[in-house]
Amino acid sequence: MITASHNPKQYNGFKIYGEDGGQMPPKESDLITSYIRKADDLFDIKAIPEQQLREQQIMNLIGEDVDAAYLEQVRTVNIDTDLVKTTGKSMKFVYTPLHGTGKVIARRALEMAGFSNYSVVPEQTIADPEFSTVPFPNPEFPQAFDLAKALGKKVDADVLIATDPDADRLGAAVRLPNGDYQLLTGNQIASVLLNYILTAKQNANELPANGRVVKSIVSTELATKIASSFGIETKNVLTGFKFIAEEIHNYETNHGHTFLFGFEESFGYLIRPFVRDKDAIQTVLLLAEVAAYYKNQGKTLYDGVQEMYAKYGYFTEKTVAKEFDGLDGKQKMANIMNTLRTNPITELAGHKVVRHADYSTATQTEADGSTTTIDLPKSNVLKYWFDDETWLAVRPSGTEPKIKFYLGLVDESEQAVQAKLNQFEKQLDIEINNLIND
């Protein structure tokens, strides 16, 4: 797939998928990379003519038959089809494909399901590789919703939904009581979807005893708490949806678990595993249904999120990214990770570390010094758990010269968790600056 995904146009490149439709795991992708590195001059590689590629069936162009097969499976995503056919017709929402592929397939899926009362941002239906209307075509950022917000206020929309250019990530904004719109985080979207899925399955007596939710190690623990309340296990995997796809493959091979939902905090979700990557088209349909569910009760998606917090605790997450440009940037990043390994964090904002994990050695260490092995591939990630259920993960970016620091916190009220976040963030900033200046 040739795409810049949710990144600026300068990041245009390609994604490689395996035969099962999942992004290739490290072993296979490393093999491909090794062949690329053998080329002395990438511009001197001889290309086979397109006609010959087609004749030898080395290259096959995807046609309408694949779209039709996909849409047939997408029909199964919606849970309460009666609700969609009734409230789905009256609920107003705005959709924007952010100049990408969702402009065709998402609209076909919505109309097929029965959602007809939605508006599309006209300026962003244009296939534009320059992404001219946004600084970044990333539904994680508020600027990506500027045009959708303007249209939403004009048509009195309940929800704004955006998919990134290759339609694998999805973001949403919900209308507040004051008429303005608030962006939901990827963790909030995932949690409200998961809560709806598990509630619906339980009510229909269709919740499998061996069901499992799969998420990345840097995603919210609210999902774990929701799943646990339904008697469902949560499996944590490394960052990258290819690891969620691997987990699904293992379930289907070993028949030990039934996949129920997968997500990453970076606005990627998978509801039904007929594809093996995050899928914004599936998510558009189910999120619209969840919004219709709350509208049918005289509520909004915002109310749904607040109800979750009232029941399970007020969770919040924050990612802090520090960039390291220049020729010595990579070495600075390596030095910081090495320092954290030799001198692990033991306390932050007055809270003690009760255990920490080094995923590069697949080792988890408890406060008493005892260790256990982590059943995941080795990766350059560190994670700390504190005595108040706060956690901190440290991970160098795989595509940019930056280290990401992920914080996850929970408390009894929105005010309390925000105050705690401020304390941790302030102390973390001091720790990061000390690491940089050492």
CA distance 77 to 405: 34
- Name the one residue in this structure whose structure tokens are 């990557």: 277
Backbone region of residue 226 per phi and psi (left: phi > 0; alpha: psi in -120 to 50; beta: other values): alpha
Nearest Cα to 286, choosing from 199, 180, 176? Answer: 199
Of 5, 191, 219, 266, the catalytic one is 5
DSSP assignment of 190-214, as one string?
HHHHHHHHHHHHHHTT---TTEEEE
Nearest Cα to 184, choosing from 92, 91, 267? Answer: 267
- Name the one residue in this structure whose structure tokens are 């102390």: 427
CA distance 393 to 423: 17
CA distance 238 to 28: 17
132 is catalytic: no
| Tokens linked to 19 | 């035969």
User: What sign does the CA torsion over 224, 418, 149, 147 have?
Assistant: negative
The count of other CB atoms within 10 Å of the CB of residue 194 is 28
Backbone region of residue 35 per phi and psi (left: phi > 0; alpha: psi in -120 to 50; beta: other values): alpha
CA distance 326 to 354: 36
CA distance 108 to 120: 13
Strand-strand pairing, 118-120 and 93-96: parallel
**Burial (CB count <10 Å: 0-12, 13-18, 19+), residue 98:** buried
| Tokens linked to 226 | 């929701």
Question: Element (H or E) spanning 235, and its range?
Answer: strand 233-237
Q: Which residues are catalytic?
A: 5
